[in-house]
Amino acid sequence: MRRFSTAVWQYTRAPEFGVKVKSFQSSKQALRRLPTKKPQQQPSAQTLQPCTTISTCESYNLPKTVELLHSEGFLQSSILLPGEVAHVEYPYEAGKIADVLVLANGSVVSWGMNESETEDKIVEMLKDAEQRPYKHHESEDVDFVVENMPNEDNSQPMTEAPEATSAEDPAGHKSYMKGETIVLRGPEKKMLLDKVAFSSGLARSTKLAALEESLERYIDSLKLLTDSLASGEHLRVSEREVLTKTGQLLQLRGQLNLYSELIETPDLYWSEPELERLYALISKNLDIGPRIGILNRKLDYASEVVAILKAHMAEKQSVRLEWMIIVLIMIEVGFECIHFWEKYRGKDEVQVEVKVPDAYYPAA
């Protein structure tokens, strides 16, 4: 190809040196005769569909979830990944079926249903399987499409499958994201696993949103105390309240860094590079990393405030103990003064002796 490009350049420069136009035209004919790369067929895309994620509790009891689904007539529901995900196909409209994934971390993800439908039809049905439910549900909505490659409709299998070169490269046969839209590709079973990976990333966002809301409420509860510190007023806070604030802070930090997989890739995807790629892709799209960083900085600020409160309570208790010691010393000094006064300055007791005549005593 490089040689031919040079030849074309020579022919195009040739008129300046007296070469006939005819020879230039023959080069164009040669160009047409060269074998060209077969244009790649574009995938046929369906319409946009909603994907809704709702976090309702800290965790779901998956066996109980499947039991509830069976009791409602969804006998095909099952645990897709033990200890991780339960799956059910929900017919939300005539001729339309949504894949609903119930994650053990307390989230429900419906592929094809909007938020109100998911809340009313799925979340309400699974209330008895919730463990430590939230006061307020957190949700995340994205759009998705299913792209059917033309080769998938042919009876002959593909001889060569071009690999996707980037996260948004539509040349391959892997699921990807185009902007904020999820594009699903591949066989049905593969797409279901891709949905699991995307669902885990979406649930990561809603769980993080629940923590963000809890931390905001916690910081708001500290605002009155920080305002009192700033104005130099006396802090009206008890030791019990300080201990409660400390426990709440440790609980929030533990939910982010210890008791969940929010800050790391779940173990499930370590052996599945393709699923790990999708999980990282949706996490990046939802700004999970920066949000975790901001959340940790807010937790650091709350930790400083609680540390100041604990130091204040320790100082307050120390002052109280000092005053108790001073009072005890004063009482001791008072007793010693009384003892000294009684010993050296007290009145001598006057003993009055009364003599009684013998006549008053009867004769024996």
Tens of pLDDT, residues 228-281: 888 888 788 888 888 999 999 999 999 998 888 888 888 888 888 999 999 999
At 356, the pLDDT band (50, 70, 90 cuts) reads low
**pLDDT in the model for residue 239:** 85
Alpha helix segments (H runs only) across 83-149? 115-117
pTM here is 0.71
**pLDDT in the model for residue 149:** 61
Strand partners, 109: 53, 101
Q: Is the pLDDT of residue 210 over 90?
A: yes
**pLDDT in the model for residue 46:** 64
**pLDDT in the model for residue 357:** 58
At 96, the pLDDT band (50, 70, 90 cuts) reads confident
**pLDDT in the model for residue 292:** 94
What are the extents of the domains in the chain? Answer: 2-33, 44-150+167-202, 209-316
d(CA 49, CA 354): 120
DSSP state of 216: H
Please say whether the beta carbons of 101 and 109 come within 8 A.
Answer: yes
DSSP state of 347: P
Q: pLDDT per residue over 13-27, tens digit each?
A: 444 334 333 333 433
**pLDDT in the model for residue 81:** 92
Q: Is the pLDDT of residue 324 over 60?
A: yes
* Ramachandran category for residue 209: left, alpha or beta (phi over 0 → left; psi -120 to 50 → alpha): alpha
